[in-house]
């Protein structure tokens, strides 16, 4: 039998290597969701423990989960309705109230920023558990994100009640759960990437605070896109969070949904989930050596 030339063997190895990478990339979200389904009870326990841990030792306990968002809502209403009486275009944005515009998306931002910030260090924080106990560690970033979404979701629910009382309730609100599900998926993909990166690059957590501050002001939460100079609007639309935040504003205030904007949000979610979970899976075998 003739020996296979080395060059052909190397090409075959490269081909199989690239094929495996592509297969892992495609299957990573499906594998992750399968693991989440199989470890559903463990996931719930981690989320419960994470939420309880935030209020452990306080006299108010879980009541702070309601007190804090109520205080935030009242402060925003007071500052932007009484002190800074900024008027917006109802025809363009669906409201004249700056407080309403801000509250329609601020708790979603808080859920995202808090979730990925906590997820970035979750593997380092649970290093002893990871190195001593065998369990599906890929659910840990999702725990941080989910607990942040649940807690800030209470504030968002209060905002919805307030908006409904002010007459903003409309059929377009039916889109809100789907938008939130996409935003949750986007956040998990991003959190998985950051969690894996932080294991090897501890500066990630330190840099993340600055990045999130810049990201917040580069996202139309404190201002509508119409206030941005036209020359910069294209760059604003490249912001992955732009589509999610604008969809919340549209659904809650403008009683409409832009199909292209929804497609952009869906695309960002798929892209981030595939890339983030793939990156996590590829580095997972090395976590034990570094942690």
pLDDT tens sequence across 192-222: 999 999 999 989 988 999 999 999 999 999 9
pLDDT at residue 36 greater than cutoff 50? yes
Q: Of how many residues is the chain composed?
A: 291
pLDDT at residue 1 greater than cutoff 60? no
Distance between start and end Cα atoms, the chain: 49
Q: Within a domain: residue 249?
A: yes
Q: Write the CA distances from 263 to 110, 146, 178, 224, 241, integer angstroms.
A: 23, 23, 12, 21, 13
Supply 17's token pair: 């290597």
pLDDT at residue 3 greater than cutoff 50? no
Domain that holds residue 131: 36-290
Q: Within a domain: residue 17?
A: no
The region of weakest confidence among 79-88, 93-102, 180-189 is 79-88
Q: Within a domain: residue 83?
A: yes
pLDDT for residue 239: 95
pLDDT for residue 11: 46
Q: Total domain count for the chain?
A: 1
Q: Within a domain: residue 223?
A: yes
Q: Within a domain: residue 126?
A: yes
Phi, psi (rounded to 5 degrees) for 97: -85, 125
Q: Within a domain: residue 21?
A: no
Lookup result for tokens 């932007």 = 80
Within 8 A by CB and 6+ apart from 180, the residues are 108, 149, 153
Q: What is the pLDDT of residues 222-269, one digit of tens each?
A: 999 989 998 889 899 999 999 999 999 999 999 999 999 999 999 999
pLDDT for residue 257: 95
Q: Within a domain: residue 31?
A: no
Q: Within a domain: residue 50?
A: yes
Which range in 56-60, 127-131, 224-228 is most confidently predicted, on average pLDDT?
224-228
What is the sign, positive or negative, of the torsion defined by CA atoms of 152, 213, 218, 220? positive
The mean of the pLDDT values for the chain is 87
Q: How many CB atoms neighbour CB 48 within 10 A?
A: 12
The region of weakest confidence among 81-85, 98-102, 107-111, 117-121 is 81-85
């Amino acid at each position: 039998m003739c020996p296979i030339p080395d060059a052909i063997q190397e090409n075959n190895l490269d081909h199989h290597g690239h094929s495996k990478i592509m297969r892992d990339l495609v299957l990573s979200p499906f594998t992750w969701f399968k693991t989440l389904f199989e470890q559903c009870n463990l996931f719930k326990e981690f989320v419960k423990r994470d939420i309880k841990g935030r209020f452990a030792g306080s006299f108010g306990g879980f009541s702070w989960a309601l007190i804090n968002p109520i205080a935030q809502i009242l402060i925003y209403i007071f500052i932007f309705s009484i002190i800074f009486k900024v008027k917006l275009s109802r025809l363009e944005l669906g409201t004249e109230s700056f407080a309403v515009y801000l509250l329609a998306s601020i708790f979603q931002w808080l859920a995202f920023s808090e979730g990925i910030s906590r997820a970035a260090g979750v593997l380092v924080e649970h290093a002893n558990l990871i190195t001593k106990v065998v369990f599906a560690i890929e659910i840990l970033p999702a725990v941080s994100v989910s607990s942040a979404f649940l807690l800030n979701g209470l504030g968002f629910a209060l905002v919805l009640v307030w908006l409904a009382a002010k007459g903003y309730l409309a059929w377009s609100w039916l889109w809100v759960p789907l938008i939130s599900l996409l935003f949750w998926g986007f956040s998990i993909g991003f959190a998985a990437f950051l969690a894996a990166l932080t294991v090897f690059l501890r500066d990630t957590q330190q840099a993340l605070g600055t990045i999130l501050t810049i990201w917040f002001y580069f996202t139309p939460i404190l201002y509508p896109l119409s206030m941005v100079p036209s020359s910069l609007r294209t760059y604003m639309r490249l912001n992955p969070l732009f589509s999610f935040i604008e969809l919340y504003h549209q659904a809650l205030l403008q009683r409409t949904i832009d199909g292209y904007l929804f497609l952009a949000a869906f695309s960002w979610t798929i892209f981030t989930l595939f890339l983030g979970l793939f990156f996590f899976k590829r580095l997972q075998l090395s976590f034990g050596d570094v942690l």
